[in-house]
Amino acid sequence: GKRFGLIGHPVAHSLSPQMHNDAFKDCQIDADYVALDVEAGDLEEVTEKIRKGEIDGVNVTIPHKVAIMNFLDEIDREAERIGAVNTIVRHNGKLVGYNTDGAGYMQSIESYLPSNVKDMNILVIGAGGAARAVCASFLGAGVSSLVVANRTKEKADTLLNLISTNQDQTNAMTLSEAENGLEKFDLIVNTTSVGMSPYTEQIPISLRKLKDKAIVSDLIYNPLETAFLKEAAESGATTVNGVGMFVNQGALSFEYWTGIKPDRKRMTNIVLKTLG
Ligand code: ATR
């Protein structure tokens, strides 16, 4: 059978193996997917194994999404824009890096958005790798008003300088500036790790002045409902947790490897069951 895996450090608690193994089974593909705990110094060795066919493809996670790019033969345009790779595919002996995080996020939020996504005022909280994937996708979708707020404002500036082609449409700010201007945003996305288990009581910004009918989304899926989403729901917002992004980024990787569309509902159920 074929061999796939997730390279990261640490990876022991990842839900990806269960999700992908179930999808392989469901699609009757003879393959397995394992978590591979790899330290930075061993990235080259792992990529050689993929080149030689000992491994057929991998997902890449924290902290290797940027460093892995040095060992690949080609980087897909979207991954280049995001500046990180989360999926490696072997094409004719060449290793190609893709990034399915941004597209996975867009698929997860799609059904919640009005048809005029381009006119929405969007606030992204955080300026790390996840923020960059989400922002690149929004800008790719033609969004014309995007604010990135971060604890360290300079990082928000740097992120936008890297991916924004029209500085009139994007703006960097501090977390408190975002908090104070909250009533302006139609969609608010937390991409920081604030509120992730075990720090479940923390929130990245307070949501006191939410716009009517605002949508609040959190990339975190453990806990399923972060304190941030709880506060948003109490204020009457529509909330979207991080399970959809996780499932969709995995499904898109699966499609790159196999050419087959896995059953996302089934994948979601596996994830929800595993999270308890
Ligand atoms: P990822 O790849 O998951 O996005 P990252 O690149 O380490 O992870 O980025 C983490 C993000 O969470 C950053 O925006 C970080 O803010 P700083 O740039 O100021 O460090 C944000 N973050 C992490 N812990 C935070 C906290 N306690 N309060 C506010 N922001 C936090």
Catalytic residue among 65, 118, 211, 213: 65
Please give the number of the atom of ligand 1 that sits closest to the Cα of 202: 27
Percent of the chain residues topping a pLDDT of 90: 98
CA of 264 to the centre of ligand 1 (A): 29
Q: What is the pLDDT, as a whole number, of residue 229?
A: 98
C-alpha torsion 155→161→165→171, nearest 10: 50
Residues making up the binding site for NADP(+): 126-130, 150-155, 219, 242
- Look at the alpha carbons of 238, 142, 146, 78 in this order and tell me if their dihedral is positive or negative: positive
Delineate the domains of the chain, giving CATH numbers in brackets: 2-99+244-275 (3.40.50.10860), 108-241 (3.40.50.720)
Give, to the nearest 10 degrees, the angle between helix 243-258 and helix 264-275: 130
Read off the pLDDT of each residue in 133-140 and give the average, rounded to a whole number: 97
Q: What is the pLDDT, as a whole number, of residue 62?
A: 95
Minimal CA–CA distance to 55: which of 39, 32, 71, 37? 32
The DSSP H or E segment spanning 7 is strand 2-8
Pocket of ligand 1 (CB under 6 A): 126-131, 150-152, 155, 191-194, 204
pLDDT in tens, 31-58: 999 999 999 999 999 999 999 999 999 9
Best mutation site among 99, 192, 203, 206 for ligand 1, i.e. most ligand atoms within 8 A of its Cβ?
A: 192
CA of 152 to the centre of ligand 1 (A): 9
Q: What is the pLDDT, as a whole number, of residue 116?
A: 86
Identify whether 25 is a catalytic site residue: no
CA of 166 to the centre of ligand 1 (A): 25
